[in-house]
Amino acid sequence: MSRSIDLAVIPGDGIGKEVVAQGLKVLEAVLPQDVKLETKHYDLGAGRWHRTGETLPDEELEALKAHDAILLGAIGDPSVPSGVLERGLLLKLRFAFDHYVNLRPSRLFPNTSSPLAGDPSIDFVVVREGTEGPYTGNGGSLRTGTPAEVATEVSLNTAYGVERVVRDAYERADARPRKKLTLVHKNNVLVYAGHMWKNIFDRVGREYPEVTTDYLHVDAATIFLVTQPERFDVIVTDNLFGDILTDLAAAVSGGIGIAASANINPDGTFPSMFEPVHGSAPDIAGQGKADPTATVLSVVLLLRHLGFDAEATAVEEAVAADLTERDGTPRTTDEIGDALAVRVAG
C-alpha cells in the first residue's frame, strides 16, 4: 500500500470548486499521519476556456498523467457552447486515460429523500463502459444548417472494449454477497452492438458460475429501476445507457446530491478519476448550498482504489451516520464538510 498520495485536483466550474474543497478536507482528515498527501490544482473548465480558448492543452494532459489519481468537481457552464468542454475536457480525460470502467454505486442512505414510495431497499452498482459506444465522437454533419442536412452519430463497439468491462463487472458481482449481474442493452433494435455485448456477456459468464445473470432492454430497465430497484445488484452497460441509467439511479436513491462516481483505468497505466455524478449547477454556485456528499463519496471510491480500505469505510460510515443524524436539517456546504471531517478524524 502506498503511503503517499499525489493527487491532481480539477475543481472545474460552479459548485465544483465548493464541493471539491470539502472532499479534500475530509480526505485530509481521514488519512493517517504518516500518509503524505500532495495535491496540485489544475485550472481547467469554463473560466479557462473563456480566458484562453483552451480546454485541455497537451502539456496539462501530460502532467496529469503523472499523478496517482484525479479528483474532479464539475465541468460546464451555460456560457460555453454545449459540447465544447464535454468533448474537449471531460470526455478527453476519460478517453485519454482509458477509463473503461465508470463505476457508479447507488445506495439509499438513511434519511435521504427518494421520490419512490415505500422505502425500497436500494444497493447496487452500475459498471458503465467509458471509452466506446456512442461517446467516441464519430459521426458528422453534411450540409449543416440547411434543409438538406444529414447528421450521423456512430456508436463504435469492440470485443476488446466490451470484454474488459464485462469481466470487471463479473469480478465485482462475484465479490458481492448477492452475486447478481444484469446486462442492460437494446439488442432487439441495436442488433450489431447488442448481440456482440450479449454474446460476450454469456461467454465470460461461463467463467463465473456463481454469478446469476440477467438481461434487460434499456427501456425495461428504467421501469424496474423505479418499480423494483431491489432487483439490481451489479449492472453492466454501455456508455450512453450507463449515462441515462445512473442519473435515474441517483434520482431514486437519495438524489444527485449524493451520487458518486469513479472513472477507473483498472490496468493502472493511467490515473483514475473521481467525480460526483452531478454537474456544475451554476444556479446555486457560490451560495454554499451545494451538497458536498457526492464528492465525499467519490473520495471513498478514490481511497478504495488506492488501497486505503479502512479509510474508505470510515468515510462511508461517517456519511451514513451524518445523514442519519442530520435528519434533513439544511446545512451549508462547509458545515456538511466540517461535520464529516470531524467525524472521520475523531
**CB count, 10 Å around CB of 315?**
27
With CB cut-offs between 5 and 8 Å by kind, which of ligand IPM, a copy of itself, none does residue 156 bind?
Answer: a copy of itself
- Contact window for a copy of itself (CB under 8 A) among 10-18, 20-28, 181-189, 326-334: 181-189
Q: Strands 272-276 and 69-74, how do they pair?
A: parallel
Measured at CB, which residue is nearest to ligand IPM?
A: 86
Choose between 201 and 308: whose C-beta lies nearer to a copy of itself: 201
Q: Which residues are catalytic?
A: 135, 186, 219, 243, 247
Choose between 280 and 333: whose C-beta lies nearer to ligand IPM: 280
65 labeled part of a ligand binding site: no
Listing DSSP states for 179-194 in one string gives: -EEEEEE-TTTSHHHH
Q: Give the shortest CB-182-to-a copy of itself separation in angstroms.
A: 16
What is the grid cell recorded at 244?
441515462
Q: Strands 212-217 and 180-185, how do they pair?
A: parallel
Q: Give the shortest CB-66-to-ligand IPM separation in angstroms.
A: 24
**Inter-CA distances, 252 with 110, 114, 326, Å:** 13, 5, 20
Question: Are residues 275 and 313 in contact, defined by beta-carbon separation less than 8 angstroms?
Answer: no
Choose between 4 and 144: whose C-beta lies nearer to a copy of itself: 144
284 labeled part of a ligand binding site: yes
- Report the first-to-last Cα separation within the chain, whole angstroms: 23
- Give the list of residues 6+ apart from residue 53 with CB closer than 8 angstroms, or none: none
What is the grid cell recorded at 174?
462475484
Coil, helix or strand at residue 11? strand
Q: Give the shortest CB-140-to-a copy of itself separation in angstroms.
A: 6
- Residue set of the binding site for Mg(2+): 219, 243, 247
Residues forming the site for a copy of itself (CB under 8 A): 76, 82-83, 86-87, 91, 114-118, 134-135, 137, 139-141, 143-160, 163, 186-196, 198-199, 218-220, 222-223, 226-227, 240, 243-244, 246-248, 250-252, 255-256
